[in-house]
Amino acid sequence: MKTMAASRAAFSGLAALMGLCLIAAPAQAQFGPQGPPAVGVVEVERRPVTESTEFVGRVEAQNRVDLRARITGFLQERPFQEGQEVTEGQVLFRLERPPFEAEVARARAAVASAEAELQNANSALARARDLVRSSAGTQVNVENATAAQRTAQANVLAAQAQLRVAEINLGYTEVTAPFAGKVGRSTFSVGAVVGPTSEKLATVVSQDPMRVAFPVNLRTGTELRDRYAGRGGADATRVRIRLVTGEIYDQVGRIEFIDPQVDRNTDTVLVRALIPNPPRNQPNGSPPIEGAADRALIDGMFVNVFVEGAQPVQAVVIPRSAVLQDQAGNYVWGLDAENRAVRRPVTLGRSIADQVVVEAGLETGERVVVEGVQRVRPGQPVQPGPASAPIRAPGSAPAAAPTGRQG
């Protein structure tokens, strides 16, 4: 019995050993050595790049004025629609005219009376001089007549001045648009009494072109100045904006003003650009209605501002997916002649969509790993192949975020 038990134990041990061998065999095949990892690579080359820097700005009307009454009177007419576009010189408010027309008539009568008195004084002076020459009069009479004649002349000038004031006040009964633009809501209704101390009647803002004001911090401003110093300064740049809808505005602007003073609170410099704001078609494709044109830019709206170089420059550009970062800084995996991975420290410039400019660290013709970077180790051979996704040349319009947001 002991022999049979020993035989069974030996058989069970042999079976267990064979089972372990069968289990270990697939594991050894699974974790055995493999070939070089496959990676996607691109060849470094120089491409035309539109340099762009992003800021946050606000749209401003080039001209903006509050309309006010310059005389006191009843508001008789308001011949415009609120929100309507108006032309320069168009009448927007009319005050009652009869009282001021009557004042003009009274002033004209005063002028006529003063002129008649002057004519009489001239005649009296002439008679006094004739009598002195014939020894029938005295010098005192001549002097008195001369004084009266001069007083009459002064009265004529005063009456004419009063007439001019009356005519000016009559002209103030019509409040006109000082420039072409869009008029806002009316503060007063027809029949209200308005005057110089009243609130504004309405506000008119110009529509085309518009200004875009945006602050630039000193560091970024210095970089932009140095970058375009040899190309013509602000004339070598152009300005684009992204609307609140996310679309890139189809008009291009230019920088017109750079504040010579630094804001002490924010350490920024105010920059202002001028950009066209023409009427757009209505949503259904019909042309804009006269006086109610639809325009993309509105006074006071926030926009993203892109300051671009007017002419593209040649730069080394690689996909951003190729760039890694650790405590030592940014780097990429390059390949040597034997397809071994080599760590290449790089200095990055501006970003354009999913591309990034390399200012130092790579030369034209070198190969960098774009896909499979997580499988690469220093000095490890790899199996390179073309990247699956085509590399887009950096576009001229800032489709994504050209840089980190400034300002």
Residue-wise pLDDT for 159-217, tens only, equals 999 999 999 999 999 999 999 999 999 999 999 999 999 999 999 999 999 999 999 98
Instruction: Identify which of 220, 209, 302 has the alpha carbon closest to the alpha carbon of residue 252.
Output: 209
- The answer, as to whether pTM is greater than 0.85, is no
Percentage of the chain lying above the pLDDT 70 cut: 83
Report pLDDT for 195.
92
Per-residue pLDDT of the chain (407 residues; tens, 9 = 90+): 444 444 454 445 544 545 544 444 443 333 335 678 888 888 888 888 777 788 999 999 999 999 999 999 999 999 999 989 999 999 999 999 999 999 999 999 999 999 999 999 888 888 888 887 777 768 888 788 889 989 999 999 999 999 999 999 999 999 999 999 999 999 999 999 999 999 999 999 999 999 999 999 888 888 888 777 777 777 778 899 999 888 899 999 999 998 889 888 988 999 999 999 998 765 554 444 444 568 899 999 999 999 887 777 778 888 888 888 888 889 988 888 888 888 889 888 776 667 788 888 888 888 888 888 888 888 888 888 887 755 444 444 443 334 444 44
Q: State residue 4's pLDDT score.
A: 46
Nearest CA-CA partner of 73 in 164, 185, 171: 171
For 125-189, give the DSSP string.
HHHHHHHHHTTSS-HHHHHHHHHHHHHHHHHHHHHHHHHHHHHHHHHTTEEE-SSSEEE---SS-
CB 84 within 8 A of CB 292: yes
Distance CA 205, CA 64 (A): 4
> What residue has token string 């690579």?
41
